[in-house]
């Protein structure tokens, strides 16, 4: 995990803090070579409530909604969110989720179906996505 915080950018809006950065440390996985832009939106009551994490553009992945929003129990107040969870832990959780989808909590029907029924086709689609996203920094 050499450089998970690649190109960190912070923006402040009226009542939110937004952090935008790329995840590109997925060596030896179908995701290798891609640069995945993730936006974290923090509410005023953070860390009492988790940030909203969204890939821009949205990713083909069973646990990423078509809008790009990440579906991860760590980011859900009703499930595993705790105020002590750090931004680094969130990013590492998302990074792990990319290569190890949670089939018990799907968010994207097409990616979920292909992942469950034809793993080789799923990995082929992920590799194509990684190639398409390899130089989208900035």
**pLDDT, tens digit, for every residue of 12-66?**
554 456 666 666 668 889 999 888 888 888 888 999 999 999 999 999 999 999 9
Label residue 138 exposed, middle or buried (CB < 10 Å: 0-12, 13-18, 19+). Answer: exposed
pTM of the model: 0.84
The top-level CATH class assigned to 6-132 is alpha beta
Based on the residue annotation, tell me whether 53 is a catalytic residue of this protein: no
Q: Which of 53, 71, 116, 134 is catalytic?
A: 71
CB within 8 Å of 108: residues ≥ 6 apart: 60, 61, 62, 63, 64, 65, 66
Kindly list the domain boundaries of the chain, sorted by start residue. Answer: 6-132
């Amino acid at each position: 995990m050499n450089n998970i915080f690649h190109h960190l950018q912070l923006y402040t809006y009226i009542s939110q803090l937004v952090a935008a950065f790329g995840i590109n440390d997925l060596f030896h996985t179908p995701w290798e070579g891609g640069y995945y832009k993730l936006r974290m939106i923090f509410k005023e009551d953070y860390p009492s409530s988790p940030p909203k994490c969204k890939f821009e553009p949205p990713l083909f992945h069973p646990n990423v909604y078509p809008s790009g929003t990440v579906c991860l129990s760590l980011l859900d107040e009703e499930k595993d969110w705790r105020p002590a969870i750090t931004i680094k832990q969130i990013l590492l959780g998302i990074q792990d989720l990319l290569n190890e989808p949670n089939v018990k909590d799907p968010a994207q029907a097409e990616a979920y179906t292909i992942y469950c029924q034809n793993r080789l086709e799923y990995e082929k689609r992920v590799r194509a996505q990684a190639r398409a996203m390899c130089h989208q920094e900035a």
